[in-house]
Structure 1
């Protein structure tokens, strides 16, 4: 059996490492802004990562249930359309998610 103090210190250590890793980008931001490569990556990487996540999700969802692939594609189209028109990520994500949940719940 694991000693209670060992478990507590292990959890505290993991929490400290997690907090440090999450704070690091904010602490390093002023220093990193001086480099044009970092600025370019800041504009290029978020859409690229979101695209990869989207494609992986669509691939997994369509393989799991091929008959309902239209639901995922419709939600993606709504998200893309709203984002293109209003450039409000929260609106795009919320509306597409709500549509997807409604479509999955009704069909």
Structure 2
């Protein structure tokens, strides 16, 4: 099953995010078979992220929540809110040249 996971960070916690960013990026790389897409969400390209978005392939919502618990951003207390939604892909992947 595919899931969209939307994270909202605690306001004013940019320094905490920066402190744990490298560990988070390494964690995502280790879980790329499950976390298919991951990235930050910002109001402007240069702004401090307000949260993040993942597309995850997992057997259940509970499995997604369990996986998330080991993410350094979750473990350090950065996340204010998380929403896990079932996601249905509408279009097939396009190849960019």
- Is the helix fraction higher in 1 or 2? 1
> What is the TM-score of this pair, normalised by structure 2?
0.30
- Is the strand fraction higher in 1 or 2? 2
Whose radius of gyration is greater, 1 or 2? 1
> What is the TM-score of this pair, normalised by structure 1?
0.29
